[in-house]
Amino acid sequence: MASRRNFVPVNVPYHIQSIGEFLALLGLPKPRHPLFCVFNHADITDYSDEKLRLKTYGFYTISCKKGYAGKMRYGQDYYDFDEGSLVFHGPNQVIASELTEGVRLQGWTILFHPDFMHAGKYGFFSYSMNEGLHLSDEELQTLEGIVAIMLREYHSGIDRFSQDIIVSQLDLFLKYCERFYHRQFLTRRKTNDHLVVRVEALLRDVRGTIPTVQYLAEALHLSPAYLSDMLRTLTGRSAQQHINDYLIDYGKELLTTTSLTVSEIAYKLGYENPQAFHKLFKNKTQTTPLRFRASFN
């Protein structure tokens, strides 16, 4: 029997655990700090390692895509990057990438480990590649001013103040990104308003089942995080809140136009446990389904 010791599963992402390992794969020097690094794309000397084709990171990445000639492939899709686009990846996010011939890399990348700063509160680290942040010249200048401060700290020698200073600048950087994404949602309102209409249509089309945020996102070719943040900016409600409101509205319709029992209505909505509908209804309306029905009699 052949040995399975050297068997490597096909299409299993390679996990790049440390920043130092990632820099080595790109032919870059060791990081000055084991948990944080900033580098220029022009300094990358090697993209040939197969481990870079399908990978996950053990850290956060922020990449500024500037002046790209050519395309990069992420998953099954190719993307052109606008001047001054930012893309974000969180730990353990699967990334399939491939450079086309003739691509010239410019811009910069920030890497930081969760032990350096946890950035889970920033939802854009869960966005897809095609949901990058497209910056105006002024916005890019603001962010690059902060990056310049981090670079000076990074290259000036690590002391006991370095991490606190870099973390404070990094958090400021991410807060600006949050603001600029909010602006992006609003300035693309015509397109995004169309998505809101499609969300409402999808909810109507799946009556009889309880839709999930993942279902809505996949139907709209968006990531769940981007969909929720976009809806929250435009309507004040997240994707899950839109789903809950749909369930309540449909439940009210059935309570007032049919003689179905509350349990039958819950099953018709897609609930396996009628008590779950009762709990949601009471939390959202401050009354029970039966009391709501009685108020119409």
Q: What is the pLDDT of residues 262-279, one digit of tens each?
A: 999 999 999 999 999 999
Q: Is the pLDDT of residue 3 over 50?
A: no
CB-based contact 126:93 (threshold 8 Å): yes
Model pTM score: 0.81
Q: Is the pLDDT of residue 189 over 90?
A: no
86-135 tens-digit pLDDT = 999 999 988 877 665 556 678 899 999 999 999 989 999 999 877 889 99
Q: Is the pLDDT of residue 70 over 70?
A: no
Q: What secondary structure letter does DSSP report for 130?
A: G
Within the chain, which residue ranges are assigned CATH 1.10.10.60?
A: 190-294
Pairing of strands 54-57, 14-16: parallel
Tell me what pLDDT residue 100 has. Answer: 59
Tell me what pLDDT residue 104 has. Answer: 64
Q: Is the pLDDT of residue 211 over 70?
A: yes
Average pLDDT over residues 176-184: 95
Q: Which fold has domain 14-187?
A: Jelly Rolls (2.60.120)
Q: Look up the CATH architecture of domain 190-294.
A: Orthogonal Bundle (1.10)
Lowest-confidence range among 29-38, 40-49, 128-137, 276-285?
40-49
Question: Measured in Å, how far apart are the chain's first and last C-alpha atoms?
Answer: 77
Q: Is the pLDDT of residue 31 over 60?
A: yes
Tell me what pLDDT residue 1 has. Answer: 39
Higher pLDDT, 210 or 190: 210
Average pLDDT over residues 39-50: 84
Which residue is listed with tokens 């029905």? 293
Please, what is the average pLDDT of the chain?
A: 87
Q: Is the pLDDT of residue 19 over 70?
A: yes
Residue positions counted in the chain: 297
Q: Is the pLDDT of residue 225 over 60?
A: yes
Among 137, 244, 170, 246, smallest CA distance to 202 is for 246
Tell me what pLDDT residue 77 has. Answer: 57
Tell me what pLDDT residue 95 has. Answer: 84
Q: In the chain, pLDDT over 90 holds for what percent of residues?
A: 62
71-80 tens-digit pLDDT = 555 555 555 5
Strand partners, 69: 104
Average pLDDT over residues 49-59: 89
Tell me what pLDDT residue 270 has. Answer: 92
Tell me what pLDDT residue 69 has. Answer: 56
Amino acid at 237: R
Q: Is the pLDDT of residue 193 over 90?
A: no
Within the chain, which residue ranges are assigned CATH 2.60.120.280?
A: 14-187
